[in-house]
Structure 1
Amino acid sequence: MSDEKTPEDILQKVCGESGCDQAALYYLAYPTMNNLTLCATAGEQKSRERYWRSQIHDPHTIQRLRDATIPFSFSDDSGMGGKEHLIAVPISSGENTIGAVVLCYHAEVNPSCDHLMESVKKRSAALFHGWIDFLVAEQSRPLSFLFNIAGAISASLDLDRVLLNVVEQATLLFRAKMSSLMLVDPSKNELEMITAYGCSLDYLDKPNVPLTGSILGRVVCENRIIQLENVFDEPFYMHKAFARREGVTALMAAPITFKQNALGVLNIYSTSPRRWQRSEMELLQTFADHVAIAITNVRVHEQMLAMEEQLQVSAKLSTLGELAAGLAHEIRNPLAVINMLIHSWKSSPPDTEDFSHDLDVVAQKISDLNTLVKDLLHLARSRPLDLQPHNIESIVDRVLRLLRHRIRQQRVTLKKKVHVLQPVVQVDRERIEQAILNLLLNALDATPKDGVITVELRMEEGQFAIDVTDSGPGIPQTELPNLFKAFHTTKQSGTGLGLPMTRRMIEEHKGKVVVSQNTAEGATFTILLPL
């Protein structure tokens, strides 16, 4: 068994010896030993892949495992459909059960219990060491998430992005089904949905929750964490229909406060009934405290910006004036020399030697102007691309969350169509996100109230295509040639930089952005990315 170096190696060997189709390794969390965490999976290559729960909290199943001395069958509804036969083989260390190897057969079987126990028991030492590694990793796991949150807060004043990052990290850390973040609207005395992760887009538009007479309102008003083992058993939990549609059951909610000021609530949901440990409650409160810091930082920054707005405008005008004067001086001098030489040629044609010398001077002055332009372009040069495999649908969903308020205010219907099974492409996430954001902002500007915007992901001739279609009046034919030119805009408050920046970012990916459709019923912008 020297070749069994990883949990996956061990499971693969157990699969072969037991004849099962799929296998999973679950360890009990110490010291409570009241939940099972998925650590590894394996299976036959030709076998259909099974979905394994990341955690099992069912008290009956866990108690049955802790009492078991031989393998036992149990049921689970998290598979991929079809007939399944699940057998849990306990992993023991001395008199204590530390986990289980769960074997999945796609047909009814009656394997020998002694054979299954022997297959796992002879690897008990390696499995015990794996449990120790698992416990160490679980203890250090929250640190990386907290570092990510702290880094995001210190590096950005974009509150929407920071808050979305918080709920995303919280969902992953707690292995939850979804997370949401709601902030207090003082004018209405309600909690308003701000962002969420792991849910449908419809969930983001659920109604506000009143601070009085609701569970989440109690979290805020009493400034304490509340958890519900089953939200459907709680009469004061509102929006049970949303919970049912999202497939969530248990809730843990932490207050977001700063210096005794109630700001909102951070919520974690799991699919099955469960009770969170005290350490998990404290960890969620730490996340909520980080959110309070982020919100406060942004609000203070906004106040500073408002107070200094006039000074900033004056400073910008002064800087622009100095820059314009400097550029005029730098350009005027070479042009004056060139103009003087041209006039001298007109009044008295130079001989061959003088003419050659004058041409050298003209060439040098033109070179000086070219160098000046290069220096200006250098100021706009961006950082190198950071190409990584990213799910484009997830990026689109992230942008749609950022635009949720604008979409709702404009009463626009947003349709998303995905025709690609695995929409994963090597991209720089931030730049593609910005490019999609620019196109969607333009689509919103063009689309009237109660209109429709469609985002479509598909393949086109070996390239990945992202279509953004509005329901506006279309683009005038006279504007099409200038559409991607810098500073060209038809909007009263536009800068004319959105589309040129988008084209530049896509071209950095060796792709292109085009107007693929333009009618009186709307226009379609298409991003094409190489695979």
Structure 2
Amino acid sequence: MDDPANEQTAIDSLYRISSLVSDTEDPKTALRLILDEIIKVLKPSSASIALINPDTKGLELEASYGLPEDWSNLELALGQGITGWTALHGRALIVGDVRNEPRYISVRPSVRSEMAVPMEDQGMVIGVVNVDSEQTNAFGESALKILTLLTNEATRVVSRLWMIKQLRAKANQLESLVDMSQQLVGELDSDELMEALTRQARHLMDCHSSALFLLSPDGRELHLHSFINPSGPVDEKLSLPLEDSALGATIHRRKQIEVHDLAFTEENDSLRTIQREGLISMLASPIIFGEEVIGVIIAYTDQSHRFNNDEKNAFTTLAGVGAIAIQNARHYSRIFASEESMRRNEKLTTLGMLAAEIAHEIRNPLTVIKLLFDSLDLKFTQEDPRHTDVQVIGEKLNQLEEIVERVLSFGRTREGMHTRQDLSILVNDTLKLVRLKLHQQKITLEFEPPKKKILVAVNKGQMLQVMLNLVLNATQAMPDGGRIRIEATTDESCAHLTITDNGSGIPEAIQADIFESFLTDRPDGTGLGLSISKRILRDHRGNIELAHSSPEGTSFHFWLPLA
């Protein structure tokens, strides 16, 4: 084609190719439209656009015209055929008669001449545009110049569309990561959280399967927790010694690893799973919180794939979010266990106090009985059975007295356990125990420590129990979030602490008796917390009162002598 289509047709096609940036969003669609324009200008009998696959480094047919249907899945190695030669060397090539060209691979028997031009983006060949004719010497230098011009513009358009597509993919990944973070951090059940994290990994990476392994306590093995394929979760038991798996490098180096061909890497029990699922490549990221390695999360593909930097960064971010969420769930589990333990201790404390009260009430009549018995001065001969009876009664009275004394001694607060404590530090120690619960329930806390230390002589554990009970009661009054304000002040002789919430308040009918044992308005309450708190504060020569309560909130105020 020494005299190609007129110059105006080429200019019109060039303009239409340039307009594709704004007319279409899909690079594949753009490639088909570009090939249509090339056909209009050069009128070949067949034509194609092949792009280099970055994973396989082979040429894959993306758009074609006039080629047999069985060539739609054509894949050429670099250097193979005229198209492969052009891609490998990055130079255009015109073959006047393919019958005399050893590099030519026959596509259609009627083809006589071929022309190929490389698609170059920033000095790198990304593909090849190829046109054929059934006439010998069909393409000349003018045709080569036109195809080169159209190819260069096509490359610019496709590169721009790819860039836009990548930016959109990054934006979608970022949006997905934000959504995933919110979902994962809000999950409190550890097992459900880890399965959700595995599912999110597969969604984020758009891969065939995903898995999550947890590191054993001794740090020698990885145990499979979750495996998800296209059909959903797979119930599978699998343990991998770190030394026998590529995943061991992820744990030891604390870095992400990529494996392109699992069949030549894994030689352990996981190979059966890999073969069954048809897995080829993987990307594994360690799940690390602080200095602790929790486990590994993995994305598997069923085709050979090289993960790009964007995919690696997104996966690393997901692993980081997962680590925070897992640690968060663990903390919540510990807090809930501590709260349940505290409730059990409340019951035991109350039972101990009740036992002490009963023992105290028994001691007085027991003392009278013992005195009266001794005053009777009952003496019988050893042969008289009553002699033994009198001995037994005396021994049992002494035994009862010892039991009563042991109960009273056990329940008595020992002054030696009291130490000088800063009230602000006690408050902060209490808040550390409930900070995650406050965050989960979206409760804000207001506490500004006084400028001067407020020293009190207290049993630290008991005082923390009082404060923890008051703060937990406040959180239970605000299930949908709210605010807790804590104020610490002093007067001439006492330290004062006020805890105020903006919850639903205490029913007016029980406000007067709120410190009585077993009185509660909650189905899951014991009715012991405030009663125990009052007893503890009285033992410390202080006291507590309900300052006020209404539907707008509740305020408790207690005081202690200054040290």
TM-score, with structure 1 as normaliser: 0.41
TM-score, with structure 2 as normaliser: 0.39
- Higher RCO (CA < 8 A, seq sep 6+): 2
